Homo-oligomer: A and B are copies of this chain.
Amino acid sequence: MPGKPAIAIIGGTGDLGSGLARQLAKAGYAITIGSRTLEKAQQAATEIRKNIPAANIRAAANPDAAASAEVVIMTVPFASHARTIDSLVDSVQGKILVDATVPLVPPKVMRVQLPPGGCVAKRAQQTLGQNVRVVSAFQNIAAAHLHGDDLSAIACDVLVCGNDPEARQCVVGLAENIGLRAWQAGPIDNSVVAEALTSVLIFLNKKYQLDGAGIRITDTVTASMNNPGQV
């Protein structure tokens, strides 16, 4: 996929979705914000234009947003995951779908509660079929920080899982282009680590009074944090 792919953000009015939209627009991507209603999507797009006047950003209802894009990022609450995936089956065929869903089940969000089958992104891949390249990413990034100007404050690596290496690398590139460190982390089955990790990070925030716990991948040899771009 040469150049910068057109991106739709399904559920783009939430904290994570609108934060990613803002950062990706700032990085020069053409963004379509999707929502269940066009009006809400338009409000979110207007808000981003206030911060990023040069943003190439438009609004659409979710299925139209997905139909218009090459890469479709899904940032919906877990309770809406299955319904949203079902609604996108036709419009995402042949595309990359980035699933950022975290299977939190309130009120016990500090306890890992695995969904049926163990992994929501794997379920998305199964529902959408092999003609859609599902990649999971962004589950562990504190959304609030995506609304700031300095992403270097986000000391959290992005684990990128999916069955297609080219699609994984495309999403690693998206993350790097907005200033995050990202790693290809294996097949879609491995997404359970990133999906479940969020509950551990919420637990750490409370137990150790952290503001936004994250993880860095390290290498034993160097005993330091690596830059995946350098290895």
Considering the complex, which residues of chain A in the window 131-181 have a beta carbon less than 8 Å from any beta carbon of chain B? 142, 145, 152-156, 159
Q: List residues of chain B with CB within 8 A of the CB of A196.
A: 190, 192-193, 196
Contact A211 B200 (CB under 8 A): no
A95 on the B face (CB < 8 A): no
Considering the complex, which residues of chain A in the window 200-231 have a beta carbon less than 8 Å from any beta carbon of chain B? 200, 203-204, 207-226, 228, 231
Contact A190 B112 (CB under 8 A): yes
Q: List residues of chain B with CB within 8 A of the CB of A225.
A: 155, 216, 225
Contacts known (A118-B114, A190-B111); A220 close to B226, Cβ less than 8 A:
no
Nearest B residue (CB) for A152: B223
Nearest B residue (CB) for A214: B218
Q: List residues of chain B with CB within 8 A of the CB of A87.
A: none
Contact of A156 among B159, B214, B220 (CB under 8 A): B220
Contact B209 A231 (CB under 8 A): yes
A32 on the B face (CB < 8 A): no
Contacts known (A155-B219, A216-B218); A200 close to B190, Cβ less than 8 A:
yes
**Closest approach, in angstroms, between the C-beta of A172 and any C-beta of chain B?**
11
A184 on the B face (CB < 8 A): yes
- A-B pairs, 7 with minimum CB distance: A212-B220, A186-B203, A211-B221, A155-B218, A208-B231, A210-B219, A155-B223
